[in-house]
Homo-oligomer: A and B are copies of this chain.
Amino acid sequence: MPELSNRGFSMPESPIRKLVPYAEAAKQKGRIVYHLNIGQPDIETPAEAIDALRIMDRKVIEYSHSAGGLGYRTNLTNYYNKHGFNITPQDILVTTGGSEALMFAFNSCLNEGDEVIIPEPFYANYNGFAMASGVNIVPVTANINNGFALPPIADFEKKITSKTKAILICNPGNPTGYLYSKEELETLKDIVKKHDLYLIADEVYREFCYDGKTHYSVFNLDGIDDNTIVIDSVSKRYSMCGARIGCFISKNKALVSVALKYAQARLSPPTLGQIASEAALNTPQSYFDEVIEEYVARRDILIDGLNKIEGIKCTKPGGAFYAIAELPVKNAEKFCQWLLEEFEYNNQTVMIAPAAGFYATKGLGEREVRIAYVLNKEALSNALICLKEALKVYPERIETKVSELSE
């Protein structure tokens, strides 16, 4: 039998998906599993998007331009320019989800062995993309006690070496839900300018900002047009994760022309997803208003509920639909597996993602989980009850101080 590649062996398993076989086994036993482990919202996709597929009058489902259909890119440009991006359709490459956009960014900006600084905890799949492209992630640790705000700029400075080529942020954050302020972004701008680094911003949750806060994009920063890259996706915005449509945006023309070569190699982003995504741009504001209202209600139920469970620590996030919670257990992964394998409460259980995989620093996040509030309020409430009951009977529960949030 021929050998597998070392890099294939080293690829991290997705902490979001690695428990899937246990969930499948639980379901085969007839159990209801509340899926709070993955960012797959139950929110309906806008009717505009689905109707566009129904009335599609194409005889051939053809490739699009490698950069994406020009019509779609033009309409996307209008969307972004309403948010002050000041871009043209030539600054956009339509990609197969935000995932591919990030791969384009890593491959186009960084050589193998180069370093990208990322505040941790970060979206776990960044590890997979970094591994696949031979890029080293250098973490700067954010703190659960301030809700995972941007770490002090001195922490970034300490990590910058001759190999540092980029800083990557996710705003609002997955898995933290933290929404960076204008001031935090200005701080990043200064360091990016000083060291002439790329600033890659994963803004796929841009529409999900709560409590009257608004999103401030890296494209709203002046004077670093050649440094900034936005990674975006329709997956969450329109609850159409399966469309697999994202985009890569930069005003750095040399960079876009290099990224386009990667786009040409894979020929075309999905045409059907582009049809749905272009139509989704006509989604009325009322859709987003309702969705935001729903997510805020869910967030409040979840976070308030979590903080009422003894031993759980969790701050209220300002965006996206995730929260990191610290549990009164020593090893959250073991607990998550136990929830699926051994626990049930009224024939129900809950699936959540162990957070250690969202950290690059070994040993961090071992007591934490990421919870996605992507289910309706009733399901969320039931899931909270499960979690509470589970922690009552979990054999490896540990004792904790009440709350360290006020520290």
Binding site for B on A (CB under 8 A): 1-9, 11-14, 16-18, 20, 38, 40-45, 49-50, 53-54, 56, 58-66, 96-97, 99-100, 107-112, 114, 125, 128-129, 132, 134, 165-166, 196-198, 226-227, 239-244, 252, 254-255, 258-259, 261-262, 264-273, 276
Quote the shortest CB–CB distance from A95 to chain B (angstroms): 10
With the chains together, A379 CA to B282 CA distance in Å?
38
Q: Are B97 and A266 in contact (CB under 8 A)?
A: yes
5 contacts between A and B (CB under 8 A): A20-B65, A125-B265, A128-B262, A128-B265, A241-B271
Q: Are B109 and A5 in contact (CB under 8 A)?
A: yes
With the chains together, A273 CA to B245 CA distance in Å?
12
Other 20 A-B pairs with CB < 8 A, given A11-B107, A125-B266: A2-B165, A3-B165, A5-B107, A7-B107, A7-B111, A8-B261, A13-B261, A14-B66, A50-B56, A53-B54, A61-B241, A62-B242, A64-B242, A96-B270, A107-B132, A128-B264, A129-B265, A241-B267, A242-B270, A244-B270
With the chains together, A239 CA to B28 CA distance in Å?
38
Quote the shortest CB–CB distance from A116 to chain B (angstroms): 12
With the chains together, A196 CA to B129 CA distance in Å?
29
* A59, closest chain B residue (CB): B44
Q: Are A45 and B61 in contact (CB under 8 A)?
A: yes
Q: Are A17 and B264 in contact (CB under 8 A)?
A: yes
Q: Are A242 and B272 in contact (CB under 8 A)?
A: yes
A interface: dominant SS: loop
List the B side residues contacting A262 at CB < 8 Å.
Answer: 8, 11, 128, 132
List the B side residues contacting A125 at CB < 8 Å.
Answer: 264-267
With the chains together, A112 CA to B60 CA distance in Å?
39
With the chains together, A264 CA to B127 CA distance in Å?
12
List the B side residues contacting A272 at CB < 8 Å.
Answer: 53, 242-243, 270, 272-273, 276
Q: Are A63 and B241 in contact (CB under 8 A)?
A: yes
List the B side residues contacting A110 at CB < 8 Å.
Answer: 5
With the chains together, A109 CA to B134 CA distance in Å?
16
Q: Are A8 and B107 in contact (CB under 8 A)?
A: yes
List the B side residues contacting A239 at CB < 8 Å.
Answer: 60-61
* A252, closest chain B residue (CB): B1
Q: Are A255 and B50 in contact (CB under 8 A)?
A: no
Q: Are A271 and B258 in contact (CB under 8 A)?
A: no
Partner of A270, one of B45, B243, B266: B243
Q: Are B112 and A258 in contact (CB under 8 A)?
A: no
Q: Are A61 and B242 in contact (CB under 8 A)?
A: yes
Supposing A5-B108, A128-B265, A259-B8 touch, asked if A43 and B17 sit within 8 A by C-beta, the answer is no
